[in-house]
Amino acid sequence: MKQHHSSQPIGIFDSGIGGLTVANAILDALPNESIIYFGDTFHLPYGDKSGDAIRYYCLKIVKFLLEKNCKMIVIACNSASSAAYQVLLDFFKNEALFVNVVDPLVQEVARNGFQEVGVIATKATISTNIYKRKLVDLQPNIIVDQLATPLLAPMIEEGFVANNISKAVLDNYLGHSELKNIEALLLACTHYPLIRSAIDEFYQHNIKIFDSTIVVANEVKQLLQENHLLNNSNTQPSHHFYVSDYTDSFEQTTKVFFGKSVHLEYEPIWQ
């Protein structure tokens, strides 16, 4: 692999700004690291795009992040991780370390030995069957019930996370017969941690809920340690947040996902 230095940034990308939940968890775990975040707001959401389209977008975005000298690329989007991870490795595995949001979550769930679990995600993620395939590979007798929940991500981006509208949508999805007998639920979209408490309430705290934020942050830390690329210097880290389409509402919504406001830089890579 190409030689890297620990001071180089971590590149993180998503179809929009939902991946900021993952970026926030990474910075909590690794406060010395610099990050470069790219949200493809021009094409969001990826959840209703074809696999070929998603792969094309991801190749272009990763090329941009590599040009920014990133030592690691984190695919902070389940749709992109499901559709494009292997293609990105085929093209760029010698250029940087790669982490997706699917594998760490699958491994964490499999360690718990559940008999039946549910997965909620975008249409694009569910259509790949990736969570079911990977969970069954690790635990052949597990039952995996999958449900596409396409209204959740746009609902969350519009700020509907704790009101009558969000409750009605969520209750409709979670009350689906597919999820009737589950012992655990995987939140297979980086938007969904923001409604985790509402989901927990729906199930009256009786099932285990998993999301990818902390497990991905731990995977990033471990991989950097193994490759001697953890930034242990006392130099102040720098962070940049790019989007492929800019509106004031995108910038205002970053606080919902990141915990604090950030300045978005417009980077029109599609022109």
Residues forming the active site: 77, 189
The answer to whether residues 121 and 146 touch, using CB atoms and an 8 Å cutoff, is yes
Pinpoint the alpha helices (H) of the chain. Answer: 20-29, 51-67, 78-92, 103-110, 123-128, 130-138, 152-157, 164-174, 196-202, 212-226, 248-258
Helices 51-67 + 78-92 axis angle, to 10: 60
Q: With left for phi above 0 and alpha for psi between -120 and 50, is residue 205 left, alpha or beta?
A: left
Query: What is the residue type of 269?
Result: I
The answer to whether residues 117 and 91 touch, using CB atoms and an 8 Å cutoff, is no
Closest CA to 33 of 54, 5, 3, 14: 5
Centroid of chain to Cα 197? 18
**What is the enclosing helix (H) or strand (E) of 165?**
helix 164-174
**CA 254, CA 145: separation in Å to the nearest integer?**
32
Query: What is the residue type of 12?
Result: I
Query: What is the residue type of 238?
Result: S
